[in-house]
Structure 1
């Protein structure tokens, strides 16, 4: 254990280069990748472009950001036949128990199609639990049990606080993921996603009336300031005027509390939930471009 912590502290030097010491310090947004490693990552992406295209399309269909194709790269190099020393198998490196949890047969871990669909389910569940992709990548590598132990020891759910208690392999794994994201020019998204997950909104007043709830034709879901209302309207194929009519006070609520209830017609809410991660991805990218 002492070795893992010491090694974690050493690798923490690299983490501090691009994540700072603790939220809310600004992320420099740059990871230094050697020329050799950059070329190796680019070669894997190019050599496996058909598989990469399939993964990206499947991610988008499942409302997940296509940057997660980089997880398969660092897990297996897109090699569907690989088996690790720990007996994890296939392109997404499923252990048999992990695969069985999602109904994936042991032999189907080596099937590109079935293993990728199963990876989508796993990633969705992990993101719902941890709220940021850095912690998801760590949990995917070492398991949710190890993440809980690390969080308990650190008394924090923030990666920059608990990572020193993770296995050295996992710390290195997360660093590799960020290296590849730097090479694919998607590190800003990962960093912004991480920063947003650390935002603690002000609690909403309990006695504040919510007139929209009285409208049975509208369904609601919570969003935060990471979501761009113009992007929501565009991706949902609705006008901004309609969105504002359904949500007359949403901008003020977002500014004041950092969170707000988004109201949409009942028949449109399933589409929003399906597109939620895509909308967030594009909202964050718009924010980065504006900066």
Structure 2
């Protein structure tokens, strides 16, 4: 199937417009000299700890700006305990620590807690594919992220963030402010936008199934596959042939990648909110019509 370049251009226009809106939202909220000085002073006062953290991150191929997560979490104080019971430089809660085999006592151990944090961040990135959502998930947990995505009908942070706890929203803002102070904000935002582009659309070198050029986007279990097919005027069986196993994945994980031909993806993106509204109203049954 040959790509429909008119529709490809339509997707790119939608994407670029959304990027402009996103740039206005995902930016440092405090670029004052006092804010920059505050963050830099904390880093300079804890140079040995910062060097170790940056080395540990780089060793596993993670960006050094993640050192700013520890910066906003604890100011690199290994003995600090939050009101909620989070402990150490990386502010591990007991359940989060236990998930990775870090004992409650070792949460104050810089070496062990940093190794655990690196593993946790690596796993979160594999799941979300951008550091903004990773920072949010590290703060409030993957369950809250999943709920926010489902409520918003989107896997994009700038869309679902409003359904997150206020503390988490502020946490992400602090992270962006810290990255501005360290001169790494553009790296974080470029990573976020690249993730969005890769998720929303592939032109050349994209996925191919059944010899068709396909684009991909994320959907959650709120979407009814029958309604997607109806809105796009395709047979449900055809939709399922592009997406083998999607019904089970949506039922088990609550989210999945949706593959569509490149000439249909623009229609889906433009009708996404309508499709979700219909799905909620008519029932989000994931099986085909009988």
Normalised to the residue count of structure 2, the TM-score between the two structures is: 0.62
Long gaps (5+) in structure 1: 1-19, 209-256, 258-291
Cα distance in 2, alignment partners of residues 198 and 153 from structure 1: 19
Counterpart in 2 of 1:82?
Answer: 80
Query: Which structure: larger Rg?
Result: 2
Mapped partners of 1:62, 1:83: distance in 2? 27
**SS class of match (1:205):** strand
Q: Which residue of 2 aligns with 1:195?
A: 193
The yes-or-no answer on 1:56 pairing with 2:59 is: no
Q: What does residue 120 of structure 2 align with?
A: 122
The whole-number CA distance in structure 2 between the counterparts of 1:139 and 1:60 is 21
1:148-194 per-position Cα deviation (integer Å, ceiling 9, x unaligned): 11100000000110001111110000000000100111011100000
Q: Is the 8 A contact 2:36 2:180 kept in 1?
A: no
Contact conserved, 1:22 with 1:161, CA < 8 A, in 2? no
Secondary structure of the corresponding residue to residue 198 of structure 1: helix
Q: Go from structure 1 to structure 2 and tell me whether the alpha carbon gap of 1:39 and 1:152 turns closer, same or farther (over 3 Å shift).
A: same
Instruction: Work out whether residues 49 and 76 of structure 2, in 8 Å CA contact, stay in contact via their aligned partners in 1.
Output: yes
Alignment match, 1:205: 208
User: How far apart, CA to CA, are the structure 2 residues paired with 1:76 and 1:100?
Assistant: 20
Q: For residues 64-79 of structure 1, what are the structure 2 equivalents within 5 Å?
A: 64-79=62-77
For the residue of structure 2 that corresponds to 1:81, the secondary structure is: coil
Cα displacement (A) at 1:21: 8.6
User: Structure 2: how far apart are the matches of 1:196 and 1:45?
Assistant: 28
Query: What is the CA–CA distance in structure 2 between the aligned matches of 1:168 and 1:206, rounded to whole Å?
Result: 41
Instruction: After superposition, give the CA deviation of every residue in 1:246-281 in whole Å (9 maximum; x if it has no partner).
Output: xxxxxxxxxxx9xxxxxxxxxxxxxxxxxxxxxxxx
Deviations 1:199-237 (A, max 9, x none): 1214533355xxxxxxxxxxxxxxxxxxxxxxxxxxxxx
How far apart, in 2, do the equivalents of 1:21 and 1:136 lie? 24
Task: Give the match for residue 282 of structure 1.
Answer: none
Cα shift at 1:22: 3.7
Runs (4+) of structure 1 exceeding 2 A deviation are 20-32, 202-208
d(CA) in 2 for partners of 1:164, 1:23:
18
Residue pair 1:83, 1:93 contacting (<8 A) in 2 also: yes
Structure 2: state its 5+ residue gaps.
Answer: 1-15, 212-261, 263-290
Query: Secondary structure, in 3 states, of the residue corresponding to 2:209?
Result: coil
Considering only aligned residues, what root-mean-square deviation do their CA atoms show, in Å? 2.2
CA distance in 1, matches of 2:100, 2:27: 36
Deviation, 1:39, is: 1.4
CA–CA separation in structure 2 for the residues paired with 1:33 and 1:87:
31
Partner of 2:287: none
Q: 5 Å matches for 1:136-147?
A: 136-147=134-145
Distance (Å, rounded) in 1 between the aligned partners of 2:22 and 2:73:
29
- In structure 2, what is the equivalent of residue 289 of structure 1? none
The question of whether the paired residues in 1 share the 8 Å contact of 2:27 and 2:176 is answered with no
Residue in 2 aligned with 1:232?
none
- The count of corresponding residues between Structure 1 and Structure 2 is 191
* TM-score normalised by the chain length of structure 1: 0.62
2:38 matches 1:40: yes
Could you tell me which residue of structure 2 aligns to residue 175 of structure 1? 173
